[in-house]
Each structure stands twice: as structure tokens, then as C-alpha cells.
Structure 1
Amino acid sequence: MATRIDLTLDCADASLLAAFWKTALGYVDEPPPAPFTTREEWLASFGPPQDEEEDDGAWLCDPDGVGPRLSILKVREPKTAKNRLHLDIRVPGHGTADERWARIETEADRLALAGGTILEEFDGHHIVMADPEGNEFCVVAGSG
């Protein structure tokens, strides 16, 4: 059995990034782990410092349970360099190279409207983007 992974993004504004990544991935807010009924109740069980705010984190999941969970955690340090790991958002579908590229461009435009930034286009292959806090990701053609 393969090991499952979670992905964690550090950020300055967890609510902003959570909204963007829910739009980008079709993810939803992850329910709190049992036996807790709210995320706040779960967080309180750790005895967090008094200066932590309610919006210090967000936890997202694939509603179909297929993709990795995404934790978005507020940190004090700003982003200072290019990501060493990035996500590829794979746009599904088959067709000609022109049709695949059109789907990539359409998805990049949708994500730009949601707050992302197009950084560079590699014509016919992929588009490099950044989320609202500058975390790089690519929009690429996928299969299926």
C-alpha cells in the first residue's frame, strides 16, 4: 500500500489562500477529525498560544477523497525565494495540441480571475502561475 501525503502551504493570509485553492482544485473545507464537531474545538485541544487568531489556518480536502489534503498555515516569515516544490494543475481531456493548449489557457485565465498571476507561458506545453501569495504552480494538460 502506498503512503498518502498531505501538502502544506505557509502563508500570511490563510483565508485568502484557502479561497483561491478551493477554486483552483475544487476542494472543500475538511471536516474536523473525530470526535471533534468543529475545527475550533480540535485546535483548542492543542492549547494554542493566546496570540493565535482563528484564521491562522485552513484545511482543505478533495470531496472525492482522491487528492491529497491541503493544510494552509499562517507563518510570520515572508516568502523569500522560488518554491522548491510546486503543484501542477492538470487540465483533463484529449484532442489536438491546439485543443489541449486552449484548455490550458482557459484554466489559467479562470485562475487569474480567482486571484492568481500568470508568470510565464511555455507555448503549447504549460503556463507557470502564482497564487495570491506568490507560490508558484503550473497549469498543464492532463489525461482523462
Structure 2
Amino acid sequence: MLSIKQVQITFDCAEPVRVARFWSEVLGYVASLPDGFATWDDYDRALPPGKQGPAGAVCADPSGAGPRLYFQRVPEGKVVKNRVHLDVRVGTGLVGEERLAALEAECARLLPLGAVRGLLLVADEENESCLVMQDVEGNEFCLD
């Protein structure tokens, strides 16, 4: 039986480079540029008129341990809640007030990047606390 070793997570979005830059900052990933270009702006200027705005962008874990993220431009906007989302694991192993402090600290770091704070889900008998957020295009994710 074939065993899958790697996965790529793909985001549909309006502005692939913007969303890739956001997630690179969130996760400490590195954005991959098209060969021969020093910046996304250089690449964009090289595209033919009417084709500006790259159709896709990539960011990846520099250690190679995490999944590659691909952001593809699509014409339609986001209209409903994500069926799949990322959990950014900033509170692993922490409980109570210590966990809440870690979630709040990460939230404070992400807000200036364009993240939007959502609902804080406080611990109950089954789950630890997490904080629902949105990225720069409204895709939900959790600080967990």
C-alpha cells in the first residue's frame, strides 16, 4: 500500500501574494518567488498588461517539516464558513490562565498583520480554550 508522505494545503483567494505573506508571518514560513525574480512586485511588473496580479503564490516551512501552503486566485469571493481550517498551535500543553495568556499574546501579534479577532471559546469539560480568528481575506482559523 502506498503511503502519502507530504500534503499541500490550498487556499482559494482573491489576492494570493497578500494571503501568502500573511501566512508566512503567522507560521514563520518562507514565501517562494518565481524563478528569476527578487520580489513579487518585480514578477508582477514582468507580466503582460491585463495579467498583473499573480494567479498563485506559495509559502513553505523552511525546515521542511510542515505542509506547503498554496494560494490560488479564484474569481468568486468567500461566502460561507470554511469547511477546513488551520489550527495555529500556540497553547499546546498549557491550561487555564497560562493558555489564555498565550492565545491573547499571539492574537496581539497577528492583529497588526491584518488578522481579525473572533470568538474566544473558553475551556469546558471536553475542550481547552481556543480563539477563533480570520486571516486577511476572512478565512477562519483558530489559535489553539
The two structures share one fold, judged by TM-score above 0.5: yes
In structure 2, the partner of 1:100 is 99
Q: How many residues align?
A: 130
Q: Structure 1 stretches of 5 or more lacking a match?
A: 39-48
Residues 54, 93 of structure 1: alpha-carbon distance in 2 compared, 3 angstrom cutoff: same
Pick one of 114, 120, 136 that aligns with 1:132: 136
**In the TM superposition, what is the alpha-carbon distance from 1:52 to its structure 2 partner?**
3.8
In structure 2, the partner of 1:91 is 90
Moved beyond 4 Å, runs of 4+: 92-96
Write the deviation string for residues 44-83 of structure 1: whole angstroms up to 9, x where unpaired. xxxxx98543522111100010000000111111111100
In structure 1, the partner of 2:32 is 30
Residues 31, 15 of structure 1: alpha-carbon distance in 2 compared, 3 angstrom cutoff: closer
* 2:93 matches 1:64: no
Write the deviation string for residues 105-132 of structure 1: whole angstroms up to 9, x where unpaired. 1001111111000111113500000001
Residues 127, 92 of structure 1: alpha-carbon distance in 2 compared, 3 angstrom cutoff: closer
TM-score by length of 1: 0.78
Q: Structure 2 stretches of 5 or more lacking a match?
A: 38-47, 124-128
TM-score by length of 2: 0.78
Identity of aligned residues (%): 39
